[in-house]
């Protein structure tokens, strides 16, 4: 399966720094990159990224989407609006949304459903906290999070991307070892296999302090189909080296 490397810019960037970063990425990427590449950017920069990436190998997406279709939801952004900007992807259920905005498994599942209905691929994030891992609950937690999405979207689950992001590894510099990550990815792969016949289409990304130094070992695991990269996606050189490691 062709790997997918996604940059999650989080709440970072400016018109100026984005232009520099995107120019460096477009210059540095080979005409046919070793992997599919995307950047998920803050809403105000979608138009900029759409313009800067048009006709090139970098796809783009957003970091959240409303669970509602349209109407009186002040401050929210709908899936059809993202579609207007040519978004190919949207991250849903990132642990920072679950933690700071109280997003439940059900809300995350409905966001994934809205994205799919608009023809956008949701990147569904799952992952355990350190306390949950310490209690031996990792498998239970990630399966519960993914099950909610499978329950709501049904057979369309073959159209999603899953990102396993252990909360304790996000932004901490503490990456899961390739073995730790692979063990969870295998669990998720088995869960998908039981849910849909064509589960092989579903890419399962690893995220959490992935960088140019550890990417190759993680991406070499049999069930790790790409990466969701936060901090390291803001540095063109580092992000390009991660993409190259996906070969």
Residues annotated catalytic, as ranges: 94, 165
- The residues in 143-182 that bind ligand PGA, with binding defined as CB under 6 A, are 165, 170-171
Minimum CB–partner distance for residue 90 and ligand PGA (Å): 13
* Tokens 């960088």 found at: 211
Using CB under 6 A as the binding rule, whether residue 64 contacts ligand PGA is answered as no
Nearer to ligand PGA, 165 or 223 (CB): 165
Nearer to ligand PGA, 92 or 196 (CB): 92
Using CB under 6 A as the binding rule, whether residue 238 contacts ligand PGA is answered as no
Nearer to ligand PGA, 196 or 225 (CB): 225
Using CB under 6 A as the binding rule, whether residue 243 contacts ligand PGA is answered as no
Using CB under 6 A as the binding rule, whether residue 208 contacts ligand PGA is answered as yes
Binding site for ligand PGA (CB under 6 A): 8, 165, 170-171, 207-210, 228-232
């Amino acid at each position: 399966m062709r790997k997918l490397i996604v940059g999650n810019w989080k709440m970072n960037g400016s018109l100026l720094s984005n232009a520099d970063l995107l120019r460096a990425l477009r210059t540095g990427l080979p005409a046919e990159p070793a992997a599919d590449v995307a950047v998920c950017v803050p809403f105000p920069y979608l138009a900029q990224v759409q313009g800067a990436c048009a006709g090139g190998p970098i796809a783009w997406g957003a970091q959240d989407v409303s669970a509602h279709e349209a109407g009186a939801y002040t401050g929210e952004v709908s899936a059809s609006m993202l579609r207007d900007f040519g978004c190919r992807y949207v991250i849903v259920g990132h642990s920072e949304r679950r933690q700071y905005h109280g997003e439940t498994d059900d809300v995350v599942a409905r966001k994934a459903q809205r994205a799919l209905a608009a023809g956008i691929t949701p990147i569904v994030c799952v992952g355990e906290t350190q306390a949950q891992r310490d209690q031996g609950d990792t498998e239970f937690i990630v399966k519960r999070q993914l099950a909610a999405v499978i329950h709501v979207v049904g057979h369309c689950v073959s159209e999603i991307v899953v990102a396993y992001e252990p909360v304790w590894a996000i932004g901490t510099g503490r990456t899961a070892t390739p073995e730790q990550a692979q063990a969870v990815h295998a669990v998720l792969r088995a869960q998908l296999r039981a849910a849909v016949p064509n589960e092989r289409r579903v890419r399962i990304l690893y995220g959490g302090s992935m960088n140019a130094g550890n990417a190759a070992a993680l991406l070499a695991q049999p069930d790790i189909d790409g990466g969701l990269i936060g901090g390291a996606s803001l540095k063109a050189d580092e992000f390009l080296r991660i993409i190259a490691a996906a070969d």
